Amino acid sequence: MSTVSERELKQLREHLGDRLNTEPALLAHYGHDSSRLAPEGAAVALVLAESTEDVSAALSWANEHEVPVSVRGAGTGLAGGANSYPGGLIISLERMNSILQIDAENRLAVVEAGVITATLDAAAKEHGLFFPPDPASAATSTVGGNIATNAGGLRCVAHGVTTDSVAALEVVLADGRIMRTGSRTRKNVVGYDLKSLFTGSEGTLGIITSATVRLKAIAPGIPRTFRAGFDSIEDAGRAVTAIVNGPHQPEILELLDTFSVEAVEAFHPTGVEIPKGAMLVGQTTGLDANERAEAIAAICTVNGASSTEVSESDSLLEARRLANPALNALGLRVSCDVAVPVASLAEVFNGLAEISKQHGLRISNVAHAGDGNLHCVVESNPELGGEAAAELVIDDITRYALSMGGTISGEHGIGAVKRHELPWQLDEASLAVQFAIKHALDPKGILTPARAI
């Protein structure tokens, strides 16, 4: 990569005016995400893009001068994917925050990439609709960022991941060309499925500037929250498998082990009973929400729950959404994002206990249990090897999840944090295909280089 000269920057400023910024404080602010990784270095400039044309001008310039580009939505990513590059350009989409259309009759919305996820959801609500993707960061993260990372969340067990809600995309390619792909219709078999290829590509193939997304109808009636306390986390895992295979599909189905419940209660007290092993908490919707929540609670009891509860209050779910900050407040960072087939959950909790025992380090669990998506937190004790020892445990957990038919990342993505794990999951041919696609679409390698794949 070359070093950008003042003269070259001036060329870009001619296009962008004061949407181009070089203040060190701003570069630092926009130069990192929410992961534990520090940026690789300070960028030389920041584009606060206000239009697709701004993004196009910026990429055209970066491609010509071979300047590495990092792309930033709201900086809520957990994999270091938006961290800046030394001598690089940061492109922020946060000013591109218009909801361009809500097409209620076709249950579609067209939004610029920088729209906050919760803002779109609120706008849809006025039409009796909702935007299914709901990562825990929904109040601050952007739709574009959700799409670029194919974000998960709590409602995935009922509504799938972000890619399932993407109908069409506008993307700026590495050299500044603007591409539109996908369709407003559900059925569309015209050429390759580029919208799915770009969704989850973490800024390495192009920059998503706007999206047509699918909305769903809000179910009538009052949602119900159910909770079940288990003496044994293994029983809780078995209950999850039984619920998912039962006749009553929940909207949300989460698991917190004892340590996690304690952490969340310390951070945001709800008065919930601390279970001896684990707690399941979830939601049902629809006119029969109560009946279904009761039926799910009964499945929990059959599978060994020591207490169950159904209510209209969603305070427990609100508390669940705070698990990340709660654990951070205790000095723990979520370090792991594996997923396993849901029928293996009980066995996997056993296996995790075994790994914990082998290393002599505590492993705590918060899980999007209905999807088998586990966020394991490993004790980082300076007297027991500190972070380095914890990282070895994470490695073991990750390999173990793979051995159980799972994946190294359920929803946080690869970014810079998990790149070393890629060959554990992907075979040589699959890696080669990814590199070939990357090279074909970004031959100079300027877009979020050396991340995601």
**How big is the site for its own copies, counted in residues (CB under 8 A)?**
80
Tell me the window of 12-20, 133-141, 352-360, 420-428 that interacts with its own copies (CB under 8 A): 420-428
371 binds its own copies (CB under 8 A): yes
Q: Identify which of residues 119 and 162 has a Cβ nearer to its own copies in the complex.
A: 162
CB 384 within 8 A of CB 360: yes
Residues 83 and 70 sit within 8 Å (Cβ to Cβ): yes
Residue 151 makes CB contacts below 8 A (sequence gap 6+) with 133, 135, 137, 141, 145, 161, 162, 411
Residue ranges in 48-87 that form contacts with its own copies under rule CB under 8 A = none
Contact between 70 and 138 (Cβ < 8 Å) = no
Please tell me the distance from the alpha carbon of residue 117 to that of residue 131, in angstroms, as a whole number. Answer: 8
Among 26, 329, 330, 422, binds its own copies (CB under 8 A): 422
Please tell me the distance from the alpha carbon of residue 417 to that of residue 405, in angstroms, as a whole number. 22
Q: How many CB atoms sit inside 10 A of residue 180's CB?
A: 13
Q: Quick check: 178 binds its own copies (CB under 8 A)?
A: yes
Minimum CB separation of residue 352 from its own copies in Å reads 16
- The span of 8-16, 111-119, 323-331, 334-342 binding its own copies (CB under 8 A) equals 334-342
Q: Draw the binding track, 288-327, toward its own copies (x: CB under 8 A; -: no contact).
A: ----------------------------------------
Asked if 46 contacts 26 with a C-beta cutoff of 8 angstroms, the reply is yes
Of the candidates 3, 98, 101, 185, which one interacts with its own copies according to CB under 8 A?
185
Interface residues for its own copies in 128-157 (CB under 8 A)?
149-150, 152, 156
Out of 209, 413, 417, 447, the only residue in the binding site for its own copies (CB under 8 A) is 413
Of 196-255, binders to its own copies (CB under 8 A) are: 196-197, 199-201, 205, 217, 220, 241, 245, 247
Per DSSP, helices labelled H in 80-142 are 117-125
Contacts of 235 (CB under 8 A, 6+ apart): 277, 303, 304, 305, 346
Does residue 372 belong to the site contacting its own copies (CB under 8 A)?
A: yes
| Among residues 6, 105, 126, 383, the one that binds its own copies under rule CB under 8 A | 105
Taking alpha carbons only, the member of 313, 87, 297, 113 closest to residue 211 is 113
User: Does the protein bind its own copies through residue 116 (CB under 8 A)?
Assistant: no
User: Which two tokens mark 231?
Assistant: 């003496």
Nearest distance in Å: CB 134, its own copies: 13
Q: Is 190 in the site for its own copies (CB under 8 A)?
A: yes
Q: Specify the residue for token string 């196009």.
A: 56
> What does the block give as tokens for 9?
């920057």
